[in-house]
């Protein structure tokens, strides 16, 4: 009798154990991500700047800093919408006053002069526009905690907004372009970066050098390198290639997890 009871007790314990360990929990649900289709946010004008705003009101907002193709690029809007579905009200400023770099994978439109474009949109022009966007999030939306997600051109600025006094708590940067040593050394909050294997804007040696700089900051950081990817994959990766689709989605989860973990903790200014 005792033996039978103990067998039943054992079976009950096993079934309890297996039902707990086999319970399926959503870990990284791709249902938050839209790669195509219509975008769902709206445009507002603040201090003469157009802002793409998407998602529901939240305690922490995502400041979405686009690549050079700007907020007219559907992939930027869709990715901003995906942050909205992750629970973050998301605001993407038009950093180029309606004239971004030409969209497309190889934007070699003869009227586009990249040297001129970058000179016109240098940090002395862009920093104040980003500061105005931060004021919009704070003063108009009433959200005081802000995290930043930046891509290519905007990736550098995702680092810059972590400088003392800029007001961002944590950042994600995908394949940042033109990133300077002082942008990295000046961070006062946690940063995570997604790097492409083949990136003309960040060759392997430079990426390794950036790792050394990250290690020399006192901030939490992480860096993920995605195989089979090129510059731009975090936004404009070709999702019909499985390895690129995975990398784009994983970089998005990398950002969301970083914001969920670090965006809620006040570190620095
Ligand atoms: C906004 O644009 C108008 C018209 O171009 C100009 O008069 C005004 O000074 C601008 N305001 C700001 C805050 O830049
Ligand atoms: C691009 O712009 C730069 C700076 O304004 C200028 O020096 C250069 O000649 C231009 N290149 C072309 C191909 O127009
Ligand atoms: C995306 O990849 C597919 C599959 O390799 C290819 O057929 C297509 O041309 C690519 N699209 C672009 C825009 O490069």
- Summarize pLDDT for 215-268 with one digit per residue, the tens: 999 999 999 999 999 999 999 999 999 999 999 999 999 999 999 999 875 544
Q: CB of 43 closer than 6 A to ligand 1?
A: no
Task: Identify the nearest ligand to the CA of 132 by its number.
Answer: 1
Distance 152 CA to ligand 1 centre (A): 29
Q: CB of 242 closer than 6 A to ligand 3?
A: no
Residue 223's pLDDT is: 98
Q: ∠150-189-72 over CA atoms, to 5°?
A: 15
Q: Which domains, ranges and CATH numbers included, belong to the chain?
A: 37-100+112-262 (3.40.50.1820)
Q: Looking at the predicted structure, is the pLDDT value of residue 269 above 50?
A: no
Distance 109 CA to ligand 2 centre (A): 14
Q: Looking at the predicted structure, is the pLDDT value of residue 106 above 70?
A: no
Q: CB of 182 closer than 6 A to ligand 1?
A: no
Give the pTM: 0.89
Instruction: List, for residues 160-180, the tens digit of each pLDDT value.
Output: 999 999 999 999 999 999 999
Q: Best substitution site from 233, 240, 243 to test ligand 3's pocket, by max atoms within 8 Å of Cβ?
A: 240
Q: CB of 48 closer than 6 A to ligand 1?
A: yes
Poorest-confidence range of 19-28, 191-200, 211-220? 19-28
Q: CB of 240 closer than 6 A to ligand 3?
A: yes
pLDDT band at 18 (very low <50, low <70, confident <90, very high): low
Q: CB of 217 closer than 6 A to ligand 3?
A: no
């Amino acid at each position: 009798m005792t033996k039978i009871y103990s067998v039943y007790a054992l079976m009950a314990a096993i079934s309890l154990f297996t039902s707990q360990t086999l319970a399926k929990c959503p870990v990284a649900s791709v249902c938050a991500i839209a790669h195509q289709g219509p975008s769902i946010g709206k445009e507002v004008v603040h201090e003469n700047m157009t802002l793409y705003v998407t998602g529901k009101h939240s305690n922490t907002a995502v400041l979405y800093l686009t690549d050079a193709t700007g907020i007219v690029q559907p992939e930027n809007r869709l990715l901003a919408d995906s942050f909205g579905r992750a629970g973050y009200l998301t605001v993407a400023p038009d950093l180029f006053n309606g004239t971004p770099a030409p969209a497309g994978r190889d934007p070699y439109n003869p009227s586009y002069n990249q040297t001129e474009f970058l000179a016109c949109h240098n940090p002395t022009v862009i920093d104040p526009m980003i500061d105005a966007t931060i004021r919009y999030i704070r003063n108009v939306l009433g959200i005081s905690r802000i995290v930043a997600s930046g891509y290519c051109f905007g990736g550098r600025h995702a680092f810059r907004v972590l400088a003392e006094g800029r007001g961002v708590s944590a950042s994600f940067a995908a394949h940042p372009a033109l990133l300077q040593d002082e942008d990295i050394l000046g961070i006062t909050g946690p940063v995570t970066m997604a790097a492409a294997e083949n990136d003309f804007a960040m060759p392997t040696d430079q990426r390794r050098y950036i790792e050394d700089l990250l290690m020399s900051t006192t901030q939490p950081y992480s860096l993920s390198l995605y195989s089979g990817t090129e510059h731009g994959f975090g936004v404009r990766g070709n999702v019909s290639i499985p390895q690129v689709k995975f990398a784009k989605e994983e970089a998005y989860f990398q950002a969301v997890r970083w914001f969920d973990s670090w965006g809620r903790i006040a570190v620095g200014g």
